[in-house]
Amino acid sequence: MKKLYVGNLPFDATADELRELFSAHGRVMSATICTDRETGASRGFAFVEMVEGAEEAIQALNQARLGNRSLTVNEAKPREDRPSGAGRDRYARTN
């Protein structure tokens, strides 16, 4: 199974649209659009997990148009471990 990063999504794109788009190239296990924690609005990117056909999907859909945007599709990189609280108080200073 491969996890793909899908960037530059139209903000009104749905997980069902992504499943349909990617299923033309292989078997899709999940499609998750990333949303803002506070507003619930799309952040403009998603992750699609594919059992098969991931390479074909990357080749076919990278730079393809969805809505009025040109998609970025590539294999997702592992999430880097970040210390808890990273970025929360970026303006607070301790002297």
Q: Is the pLDDT of residue 86 over 70?
A: no
pLDDT digits (tens, 9 = 90+) for 35-55: 999 999 999 999 999 999 999
**44 φ/ψ sector (left φ>0, alpha ψ -120 to 50, else beta):** left
Q: What is the pTM of this model?
A: 0.82
For the chain, give the mean pLDDT.
90
b/e map of 45-81 (b: 16 or more CB within 10 Å)? bbebbbeebbeebbeebeeeebeeeebebeeeeeeee
Residue from 38, 36, 3 nearest 22 by CA: 3
Tell me what pLDDT residue 79 has. 79
Q: Is the pLDDT of residue 93 over 90?
A: no
Tell me what pLDDT residue 9 has. 97
Tell me what pLDDT residue 78 has. 86
Length of the chain: 95
Tell me what pLDDT residue 51 has. 97
CA distance 16 to 32: 9
